[in-house]
Amino acid sequence: MMRSMFSGVSGLRAHQTKMDVIGNNISNVNTVAFKSGRVTFEQVFSQTLQGASAPDPVSGRGGTNPMQIGLGIGVNTIDTIMTNGSTQRTDNPTDLAIEGDGFFIVKGGNSDTFHFTRAGNFGLDKAGNLVTGGGLNVYGWQVYSRQPDGTYVFDTEAEIEPINLYEDATNKNKRIIPAKATTFAVISGNLDASYAALGSAAASAGNVQFTIPMTIYDSLGNPYTINVDFWKIEAGSSGTVWNWAINTGNGVTASSASGSFEFDTQGKIKPGASVTPSITVIPPATVGTEPINIKLDFSKLTMYAADSSAKTTNIDGYSSGTLVNFSIGSDGVITGIYSNGQQQPLGLIALAVFDNPAGLLKSGENLYTPTTNSGDFKKAVKPGTNGAGDLNPGTLEMSNVDLSYEFTEMIITQRGFQANSRIITTSDEMLQELVNLKR
């Protein structure tokens, strides 16, 4: 009879544990990226009153099953359910949700160890560090190289470091983007074929038939406006020759600043070195900068009997600018937007992927730490690669707690607790009857 009482006690304890987990789930229903828990039960030891016996073919006696009395219930597992929660749109540029697997990598300082989180409610401190709500640094990469096509590639094989949007050891001050001298200018469009041929006349105000203004920059970011003048020289059965010349002013001079090119009888420019000439623009000596070497590209010009429409369609170079805004892409790249209209990367957010995410240990503040069953943190990966999900900027992952399920489990747990309490009270009444046998 005492066995039943202790079985009831074990049932109360187990259901209390389950109720504790349910209560924690419900209390965290609005916690960013919270992962709910689940309790499963198991029966504990059983007392064997009689073992099993096999059938006896000689006597014809049948076999018997074992006779056992269970000794109660125990908690088998308390699992962390790692399914993704729904996303909540916030439009805050530093809020991030992970669509798929992976964890953000954070650290509280040089003496701290890495922690991992799904909660992407980040912000900036006054020094420009990307941090969690608790002040932990968000880690990633900041060293990149610019490719010939203008794209940027981060060195994801390097060690991760705290992301700072204002400065870092490699890029220095990222609040200012340095000026870039002009190196090329592409001129495309039409030159009117109906212009009269001027022969070998020199370029002058009266001879110039079409002018394209162009703003260029030196290495300090100083702007200069120069003109590219065009005029037709001669036309014949083999084609049409045009001259061009750079017209400067305000103390600016130019060298190798004139030439010619030829159109065929179909109005298309003939290829050759004359189509991509290089010029040197020399700013005034008092400016304190070097000459500007520019490669012109006339290969996209046409000559038809229509209004002249030639213009500069692609030109590099710009003055310095200050950081005014930034955005985070789904690939984790943080891009700075500057007052001069230019953009440059400020960092790349790294993610960690584990073999068994459910094996991570919850360590408070929405953080996890690895365990022997989660797998080690081996290498940071770029979002969207090596099993890591993409980022969804301007959103947060919500808790994956299902209230309808939790309330149902709470009712079941309450009934289980009540039933186990009845075991104890009934066993007590039976003991009382046993005591009352002697009066």
Q: Count of CB atoms within 10 A of residue 195's CB?
A: 18
pLDDT in tens, 63-87: 999 998 888 999 999 999 999 999 9
Question: Cβ(272)–Cβ(280) under 8 Å?
Answer: no
As a whole number, mean pLDDT of residues 320-345 equals 95
Q: Count of CB atoms within 10 A of residue 8's CB?
A: 22
For residue 19, give the 3-state DSSP assignment: helix
pLDDT band of 110, cuts 50, 70, 90: confident
Residue 205 is predicted with a pLDDT of 52
Residue 3 is predicted with a pLDDT of 85
Residue 362 is predicted with a pLDDT of 96
DSSP 121: B
pLDDT band of 194, cuts 50, 70, 90: very high
Specify the pTM: 0.83
What is the rounded average pLDDT for all residues in the chain? 93
| Residue 203 pLDDT exceeds 60 | no
Residue 202 is predicted with a pLDDT of 56
Nearest 5°: phi and psi at 72?
A: 120, -160
- How far does CA 311 lie from the centroid of its chain? 38
pLDDT band of 320, cuts 50, 70, 90: very high
Residue 206 is predicted with a pLDDT of 65
For residue 376, give the 3-state DSSP assignment: coil
Question: Cβ(412)–Cβ(405) under 8 Å?
Answer: no
On the 0-12 / 13-18 / 19+ scale of CB atoms within 10 A, 351 is buried
Q: Please name the residue ranges forming H helices in 209-267.
A: none
Question: Which percentage of the chain shows pLDDT scores above 70?
Answer: 98
Residue 312 is predicted with a pLDDT of 96
| Residue 180 pLDDT exceeds 70 | yes
pLDDT in tens, 217-241: 999 999 999 999 999 999 999 999 9
Domains and their CATH numbers in the chain: 2-50+66-82+399-435 (no CATH), 95-173+333-397 (no CATH), 184-315 (2.60.98.20)
Residue corresponding to tokens 């470091």: 161
pLDDT in tens, 121-176: 999 999 999 999 999 999 999 999 888 777 889 999 999 999 999 999 988 999 99
| Residue 391 pLDDT exceeds 90 | yes
* E strands in 237-360: 239-247, 253-255, 258-263, 278-282, 292-302, 311-315, 321-328, 333-338, 343-349, 351-352
Token output for 413: 């747990």
Residue 371 is predicted with a pLDDT of 96
Q: How big is the CA angle at 400 (ends 398 and 401), to the nearest 5 degrees?
A: 115
- How many helices (H) and strands (E) the chain has is answered by 2, 34
Q: Count of CB atoms within 10 A of residue 69's CB?
A: 11
